[in-house]
Structure 1
């Protein structure tokens, strides 16, 4: 028996389809505690690689004899070594994660969100990171919302659909991952839109100049201009009065955290204005499509994507229910998450154009979960 490589795409499919998966994670305890592969049908145990160098005796009795086992490490090498020892010892269906947790962090899962006679919308779920991006296709053109740095994914979809990427928008200056917006615009010739107030030092189209963006049969309305929540220039995009691409302002289970800039009360006031003035005028049957999620199991709906009707989100989230500004701001401050996204200052500097990083450095900076939500409801 030999161990086999399992791609991140195969793992994601099992997680999303809630297929049983047993994982032996051989990273160090701190890394495992901070971030791991999770899912409703996932069982995982952690035994650091250095405890297994001389053999599998430390975990032999903790592993199932009749179920497939996936061994996971940071980059692949350690998990492959341990997986081969397990296979040689007689364990059946042993695999190791190809590319390690780095590959898990970078995989994007495509799912269709919406389609009518005017538009088709795909959601790209970064399963290992909790980040979401979108492609809105109409006629022969496409809009990309909050693109990750993996440009080939969007280019492949555009080619498959026979469309040209003509518009790219970032809802805010991301703090937990590196945006692909600028690079994708340079490759495709698309217009790239970002709020000027986010402080980017490269050329782009300032969203402050656009109340609406039109192309083909898409009418994109820019919401929350000058009424941010998550960052000074955080915006949402309302498409065809049916879909709200909410960035990190509204999640399926909560609101964006306004504390990363050290102005939690000031920005909480802005978040209140966004929620109770801008968003309050939007109908309950509008579909909210956020920029992140906290739990795939809890937030993926029966249609197979992350999102929900605005009315359902309002009904679950007490912070969106008839709160006065003072009470709301107090609640935000009390729930402010002191744990910031790893390396967020460097990531923000890269996204602002003030710092450069090669592919390996970008990969290193992004490792770990997203921490962009302020408050999640059950």
Structure 2
């Protein structure tokens, strides 16, 4: 049988459709266990490439003859060679074009909301668990928490016939490199970030803005002190209908306030945010976070990741009727998971105190998202 390539976009579509897949991952065991293409309908086989250099004859009994086999490696080369060997043995075989590196960079655009005043699109980065957004109104667009793949947002704006005029980052991200600064330079858009995040380049400090308005959109800036990884963080309340919650509230729980080494102090700030600020927001407001933990668990029937605030509250007891002490203890215990890989260097890049080549940026982002860790209980 002829070997063929499958793109990350095609693979993501299969995952979202919950198609039965057989993925043969030829990376080493540690990398496979740490981070993989995830899906409830996926069957896995992990055998490192170096064990297959002399051929696949010894493992053909572990590979199904009646399914398409998708071979995966880090960058493509090894999976392509293994796929070729399997196809020569008569198996229906594909390899993931670009490997896990391309999987990490794949963005999936879906519509979240529309009315007479605005349209909102979500960009799902399945390989990292990161979410970004485009709000369109009239002839203008606002981008929320953009990834570094700035051409994706420019193409989306062009498709809608609008100009990107505003860009906001909810905080200084720790798990991925922001495209906010570069996108602003390319489009001439205003770029907003909290001054307390310590960025050294030119931007508009969110501390100076209670609202950002354009066309028929009013974006309220809700300052939420340190609910995520950084000294300053915000959420954005749009037209009293949508809450871009950054790393404060996830569909599955709350953000982790431990990366600064002040988990209990920052957990108290998170308590104040949840009980004294977010508590004032109505239950029917749709929460749109910056990250998610599990694509299949959290994507809703409308095809995007988000949920009404009231439903999140009802599933997350720590958001209601908790004393500050109990809340702090819960958050402190929940925040003990592994930190995002390379987060200090990524923060430095996002702050503007360091630079990195395109290749280095790809290397820094390889691996899973570890921001959305406070699952409901």
2:307 paired residue number: 308
Separation in structure 2 between the aligned mates of residue 212 and residue 275 of structure 1, nearest angstrom: 20
2:335 paired residue number: 336
Separation in structure 2 between the aligned mates of residue 19 and residue 66 of structure 1, nearest angstrom: 14
Q: Partner of 1:59: helix, strand, or coil?
A: helix
**In 2, are the aligned partners of 1:107 and 1:126 still within 8 Å (CA)?**
yes
> How much does 1:335 deviate?
1.4
Q: Deviations over 1:48-104 (max 9, x none)?
A: 001111111342111110111100000000000000000000112x10000000000
**In 1, are the aligned partners of 2:225 and 2:273 still within 8 Å (CA)?**
no
The 5-angstrom pairing of residues 91-130 of structure 1 reads 91-92=91-92, 94-130=93-129
> How much does 1:319 deviate?
1.2
Separation in structure 1 between the aligned mates of residue 136 and residue 310 of structure 2, nearest angstrom: 26
Separation in structure 2 between the aligned mates of residue 225 and residue 264 of structure 1, nearest angstrom: 15
Separation in structure 1 between the aligned mates of residue 36 and residue 311 of structure 2, nearest angstrom: 29
Separation in structure 1 between the aligned mates of residue 249 and residue 36 of structure 2, nearest angstrom: 25
> How much does 1:375 deviate?
1.2
Q: Partner of 2:43: helix, strand, or coil?
A: strand
1:200 paired residue number: 199
| 1:232 and 2:220 matched | no
**In 2, are the aligned partners of 1:230 and 1:249 still within 8 Å (CA)?**
no
Q: Deviations over 1:239-268 (max 9, x none)?
A: 000000000000000100000000001100
| 1:355 and 2:354 matched | yes
**In 1, are the aligned partners of 2:268 and 2:324 still within 8 Å (CA)?**
yes
Q: Deviations over 1:349-372 (max 9, x none)?
A: 000000000110000000000101
Separation in structure 1 between the aligned mates of residue 64 and residue 109 of structure 2, nearest angstrom: 32
What TM-score do the two structures reach when normalised by structure 1? Answer: 0.98
2:34 paired residue number: 34
Q: Which runs of 5+ in 1 are unaligned?
A: none
Change (3 A) 1:374 1:88: closer
What TM-score do the two structures reach when normalised by structure 2? Answer: 0.98
Structural RMSD (CA): 1.0
Q: Deviations over 1:291-336 (max 9, x none)?
A: 0000011100000000000011001112112111111111111111
Q: Deviations over 1:84-126 (max 9, x none)?
A: 000000112x100000000000000000000000000000000
1:243 paired residue number: 242
Q: Which runs of 4+ in 1 moved over 3 A?
A: 225-230
Q: Which runs of 5+ in 2 are unaligned?
A: none
2:74 paired residue number: 74
> How much does 1:338 deviate?
3.9
Q: Partner of 2:183: helix, strand, or coil?
A: helix
**In 2, are the aligned partners of 1:229 and 1:274 still within 8 Å (CA)?**
no
> How much does 1:225 deviate?
4.3
* Alignment coverage as a number of residue pairs: 377
Change (3 A) 1:375 1:137: same
